[in-house]
Amino acid sequence: MTSKNLSFVARLRFALAGLHHALHSERSVRTQLMIFVGVLAALAYWRPPPVWWALVLLISSAVIAAELFNTAIERLADQIQSEPDPRIRIVKDCAAAAVLVLSAGAVCVAAALALSLWEAR
């Protein structure tokens, strides 16, 4: 059966199952989620303007999404080729690099927010 025409609730269950799997199997996803909780606590404490909430939540969700894509790509690559293969290694390394690039962007957003809060004092 195809999952294209299932109800929203059914498709939501698939997404939550994927998130559950990633949380239980990937340390990096758990780490990013713990950082996200810390970021939410910092935002609640400092109470920056709404635009900063939007920027921080957007980049944070992008990093977590990249981690989930990375997990999916790694699992698929491992299913396709169980033996080490330099071509598969490149695919997995590029997926990991995407997480790294987004994480660096998140650090830049955090630095810009800190500078903005510092200047507003």
Confidence of residue 84 (pLDDT cuts 50, 70, 90): confident
CATH number at residue 66: 1.10.287.3610
Question: Is residue 3 in some structural domain?
Answer: no
Residue 5: what are its φ and ψ, rounded to 5°? -110, 25
CA distance 105 to 111: 10
Question: Is residue 26 in some structural domain?
Answer: yes
Alpha helices in the chain (DSSP H): 8-25, 27-46, 50-80, 86-120
User: Using one digit for the tens of pLDDT, what is the confidence trace for 21-45?
Assistant: 999 999 999 999 999 999 999 999 9
> Is the pLDDT at 66 greater than 70, yes or no?
yes
Residue 56: what are its φ and ψ, rounded to 5°? -65, -45
Query: pTM, whole model, 2 decimals?
Result: 0.88
CA distance 119 to 101: 27
**Choice among 22-31, 76-85, 94-103 with the minimum mean pLDDT:** 76-85
Question: Is residue 2 in some structural domain?
Answer: no
CA distance 107 to 55: 12
Confidence of residue 89 (pLDDT cuts 50, 70, 90): very high
Domain count, the chain: 1
Q: Domain residues for 101? A: 8-120
